[in-house]
Amino acid sequence: MQNWPLFEIFLRSKNGLSHKHVGSLHAADADMAITNARDVYTRRKEGVSIWVVESKHITASNPEESESMFDPAEDKVYRHPTFYVLPDELEQM
Amino acid sequence: MTEIQSLEKRFQDRIDAEERIEPRDWMPEKYRKTLIRQISQHAHSEVVGMLPEGNWITRAPNLRRKLGLIAKVQDEAGHGLYLYSACETLGISRDEVLDQLHTGKAKYSSIFNYPTLTWADIGAIGWLVDGAAILNQVPLCRCSYGPYARAMVRVCKEESFHQRQGYEIMLTLANGTPEQKEMAQDAINRWWWPSLMMFGPNDSESTHSAQSMAWRIKRFSNDELRQRMVDMIKPQTDILGLTLPDPEIKWNEERGAHDFGEIDWDEFWSVVKGDGPCNKERLAARVKAHEEGQWVRDAALAYAEKQEVRKASDGKTKVA
Ligand SMILES: [Fe+2]
Ligand SMILES: [Fe+2]
């Protein structure tokens, strides 16, 4: 097991939806990761498509920097429709 | 306030606000250790739990029962895998976790150190043991640690079939011949107390509980969950027309709950410490399976490496 790399598993639950991360598993290679992911994560038709990515290839944002990363979006209310004042008689927009 | 104290305070504030903690977030070392211990024990329990039930796959009374049992045992393997993966997000390797099991350093649920003597035991396990597991696991879906909580959501979705197939087995036996009914009663008699023990020591004796509650790893105390178990199982036993092996069990109008007898704590601790009927056998079976599977893991890896080399050299000829 020592040398079996870790893979992250993503499932598309049905066509029309994006793949979503569901967990991880160890496998000797990507093909085996897909076969194993089928048995581990789709025993009840949870997916119609599987992506596997070796965990080491994922670059993640640093949680310690999440303030500087995501706070700038916080005070930009003008990016939302409700920021704009429109007359009541306007029934739809 | 020192830096570590202020980190700890911020951590606890997040927990109190019901925020989930994710793998790369700062966490107290003790929180990490507690989770590694709990999640790995949980994973080991799923894996070792396959042994007593696997014992009956080849002897299931008919194909319908056999399909159900195989599917259940396969689910338990899946549960073990979800949990090992969740455990690894805390920075411990799969090898190390397995090693702790194989060397006897890590524990797993004591319930699996009891033998499955008859087919009725498969019914009793699905109904009582998975029933107890569900009561333990449902609150864990809201555990503060994200990967553990997410694994539990998957597990809980799959568990209800386990309990129903177990109860259906019991129901069939209870409505069968006198011998079958007796077999079902005997299984209840042997599995009832060990199932109640699954919730752990009494609250007054439980050492890790307070901290785990504060960290929202745990949401209900051992005794609260045990009470729920008794209240859930008693009416289900009545429907079977069978009884629980506890003369003290009776409805308490005032409490709105069942009173019940005292667990044999000497038995509990002796099984925990390794002297249950099957402790040695279970561990030996796990170690044997792991060792005898080594060549498969090695071969898969050698094959993957060969493929990798072949791919690389194919690439080269194309470039040339
Ligand atoms: Fe399970
Ligand atoms: Fe189960």
Would residue A91 count as lying in a domain? no
Show the domain range for A10: 1-58
Q: Which pLDDT does position A66 carry in this prediction?
A: 87
Q: Which pLDDT does position B318 carry in this prediction?
A: 55
d(CA B158, CA B232): 19
Q: Which pLDDT does position B123 carry in this prediction?
A: 98
Residues 6+ apart with CB under 8 A from B68: B165
Q: Which pLDDT does position B222 carry in this prediction?
A: 95
Contact residues, chain A to chain B, C-beta under 8 Å = 1-4, 6, 22-26, 28-29, 32, 39-40, 43-44, 60, 62-64
Would residue A92 count as lying in a domain? no
Residues with CB under 5 A from ligand 2 (ion): B 130, 159, 162
Looking up residue A40, the CATH number of its domain turns out to be 3.10.20.520
Would residue A6 count as lying in a domain? yes
Would residue A12 count as lying in a domain? yes
Per the prediction, chain A carries an average pLDDT of: 93
User: Chain A within 8 Å of B64 (Cβ-Cβ)?
Assistant: no
Average pLDDT by consecutive 10-residue portion of chain B (320 residues)? 91 97 96 97 97 96 97 97 96 96 96 97 98 97 97 94 97 98 98 97 86 95 97 98 98 97 96 94 97 95 92 68
- Which two three-digit tokens encode residue A54? 């070796």
Distance B244 CA to ligand 1 centre (A): 24
ipTM above 0.95, yes or no: no
The amino acid present at B259, given as its one-letter code, is D
Would residue A64 count as lying in a domain? no
- Which two three-digit tokens encode residue B54? 């696997």
3-state secondary structure of A26: strand
Residues 6+ apart with CB under 8 A from A70: none
> Taking CB atoms and an 8 Å cut-off, how many pairs form between chains A and B?
51
d(CA B13, CA A89): 46
Would residue A52 count as lying in a domain? yes
Q: Are B85 and B151 in contact (CB under 8 A)?
A: yes
Percent of chain A residues past pLDDT 90, beyond the cut: 80
Judged against a pLDDT cut of 90, whether residue A86 lies above it is answered with yes
Would residue A49 count as lying in a domain? yes
Spell out a b/e string for B23-49, using b for 16 or more CB atoms within 10 Å of the CB, else e.
beeebeeebbebbbebbbbbbbbbbbb
- Confidence tier at A1 by pLDDT (50, 70, 90): very low
Q: Which pLDDT does position B132 carry in this prediction?
A: 97
Distance B124 CA to ligand 2 centre (A): 12
Q: Look at chain A and report how many structural domains it folds into.
A: 1
Q: Which pLDDT does position A34 carry in this prediction?
A: 98
* Mean pLDDT score, A12-32: 96
Would residue A35 count as lying in a domain? yes
